[in-house]
Amino acid sequence: MARSPSGESVLTRAVRIFEAFGPDRSVLSLSELSRRADLPLATTARLVDELTRHGLLSRDELRRVCVGTRMWELAERASPVLGLRQAALQSMHDLQAVVGHSTQLGILDSDQVLFVERLAVPGSTPNVTRTAGRLPLHASASGLVLLAHAPADIRDRVVQGPLPGFTEATLREEHALRRALAEVRDRGFAFCPGHIHPDATGIAVPVRTRGRVVAALGLVVPNDDVAWSLIRPLQVAGLHLSRALDTAQVS
Amino acid sequence: MARSPSGESVLTRAVRIFEAFGPDRSVLSLSELSRRADLPLATTARLVDELTRHGLLSRDELRRVCVGTRMWELAERASPVLGLRQAALQSMHDLQAVVGHSTQLGILDSDQVLFVERLAVPGSTPNVTRTAGRLPLHASASGLVLLAHAPADIRDRVVQGPLPGFTEATLREEHALRRALAEVRDRGFAFCPGHIHPDATGIAVPVRTRGRVVAALGLVVPNDDVAWSLIRPLQVAGLHLSRALDTAQVS
């Protein structure tokens, strides 16, 4: 594989370019991109030119750079999460219509929750999740569900930390976290009042395919006395989605 | 940029790898991939190894290759179509709940319709569209809407063909196509009974942001006498989505 003087391959540098973009940084000037990707300006310019020729990046009328439609198309049309997402959308909408709060679907990826779909209710409870966004496993309700059902080696690695705190309520101690995980397996849901934001409660349930937990379905609702009453509708939606996945044979 | 003996850059070859995957080909053996990407087996193996290390590809338990979660995440989190898709999902679900047929949202990309979202009703009308799938502009209802409002140079290029046929009803002649486009602009919708499949009718309406057509919202319904009655609900959903986009300031 061809390498730069620093020993990095072209592909590694291209990945660095794409990693510089994010939900809040979807349009970048060439110099911002060079800084965020930690690549020389000339290298960045050359890579952006070639990636733009392939449609993987594009430039707006101000010559700023953004991710190209072709990049989205190549990733999405054979997406490893497309089947799960499409099967889940109906259950998520039904749930959202009934409870009136944001719903999200997360999978376990690289010791984090990766949210593959999110239906937001604008202006409702504070909610830091985004589609294709990530959260630590120990801090979020979806993360606790995924961690509770993860292989033992992943669970042991994660509970030993680091366990960064978001609020006073975040589980930051191995023993408390292990107890919480046992409770999630036992009760069939995770209930996290104020774990990520003091005003929000995260609730999540497992989504199964042929008995195996493949995702967590979650709600973000106000941190108040009503939150408990939303566990049951969420559980119903989770069972419904699991059944739909079994029928569709999405793995 | 580093080049192979054939003069192709690493990035060009990596794009060829990703292009080999598709909705019906989401898992490929190394030799299938090599054949479909038209690259030597050793080159393919080396590229797959490096792309797998970056998480852009992954391998299943049978060592077959598929698109990686990281590739999806990088494309999706700064996706150029994320804002449009998320704004559209609610309108699409409301429409689907009322009419009970598959709904889809398409944009104009490289002289084709690229479908950025699709809510399917399983087992309903024959429907060839897929999320991140494409159709020719002249043949589909969504395509006619996008073409009718496209810049004159794109319109002139497309109407001069080639105009491949799907059925007897596909518009394959420049004059008829130009007349159909004028009618779409005039009436505010495209109505295409049997243009892609004899048993299906495509209907589509423009989606506007600040007056400019940015997408087409479409329905695929049975090709029967009821199809006409579904134009009005689709128009209402299209206006609703346009208003939501103006409020959200998605461009």
Contact A87, A248 (CB under 8 A): yes
Nearest to A26 among B10, B78, B119 (CB): B78
Angle at B249 between CA B237 and CA B207, to 5 degrees: 30
* Cα–Cα separations (whole angstroms), residue B27 to B18, B33, B115, B229: 11, 9, 22, 41
Q: What is the mean pLDDT of residues A181-195?
A: 97
Q: What strands, in cross-sheet order, belong to the sheet with B134-136? A: B134-136, B112-119, B102-109, B212-222, B200-209, B190-193
Query: A15–B74: do the CB atoms touch at under 8 Å?
Result: yes
Mutate to test the interface with A, among B50, B59, B62, B69 (most CBs of A within 10 A): B69
- Banded pLDDT at A2 (limits 50, 70, 90): low
Backbone φ and ψ for A5, nearest 5 degrees, come out as -55, -30
Write the pLDDT tens digit of every residue in A52-63: 999 999 998 899
**Structural tokens at position A250:** 């999405």
pLDDT band at B86 (very low <50, low <70, confident <90, very high): confident
For residue A206, give how far its alpha carbon lies from the nearest alpha carbon of chain B (Å): 20
Which whole number is the average pLDDT over B108-123? 88
Closest CA–CA distance from residue A176 to any residue of chain B (Å): 31
Average pLDDT over residues B143-164: 95
Which of A45-54, A124-133, B230-239 is the least confident region?
A: A124-133
Q: Searching chain B, which residue's CA lies closest to the CA of residue A10? A: B10
Number of A to B CB contacts under 8 A, please give it: 157
- The minimal CB distance from B69 to the residues A55, A72, A80 is found for A80
Q: Taking CB atoms and an 8 Å cutoff, what residues of chain A touch B82?
A: 23, 26, 131-132
Q: Is B67's CB within 8 Å of A89's CB?
A: no
Which neighbouring-strand residues pair with A218?
A104, A204
As a three-state string, the secondary structure of A146-169 is HHHCCCHHHHHHHHCCCCCCCCCC
* pLDDT tens by residue, A200-235: 999 999 999 999 999 999 999 999 999 999 999 999
**CB B9: neighbour CB atoms within 10 A?**
17
Q: Is the pLDDT of residue A251 over 50?
A: no
Q: Which of B1, B6, B11 to mutate to test the interface with A (most CBs of A within 10 A)?
A: B11
- Judge: B80–A26 Cβ closer than 8 Å, yes or no: yes
Please check whether residue A34 is in contact with residue A73, taking contact to mean a CB–CB distance below 8 angstroms. Answer: no
Mean pLDDT of B148-170: 94
When CB atoms are compared, the residue of A19, A109, A131 closest to B74 is: A19
Q: What is the pLDDT of residues A105-150, one digit of tens each?
A: 999 998 999 999 988 877 667 777 778 889 999 999 999 999 999 9
Region label for A63, one of left (φ > 0), alpha (ψ between -120 and 50) or beta (otherwise):
left
Three-class SS of residue A251?
A: coil
Domains of chain A: 10-75 (1.10.10.10), 82-248 (3.30.450.40)
Cβ–Cβ below 8 Å for A67 and B80: yes
**Angstrom distance (rounded) from CA A163 to CA A136:** 8
Q: B133: Cβ–Cβ under 8 A, 6 or more apart, which residues?
A: A77, B23, B114, B115, B118
The C-alpha of A210 sits at a distance from chain B's nearest C-alpha, in angstroms, of: 17
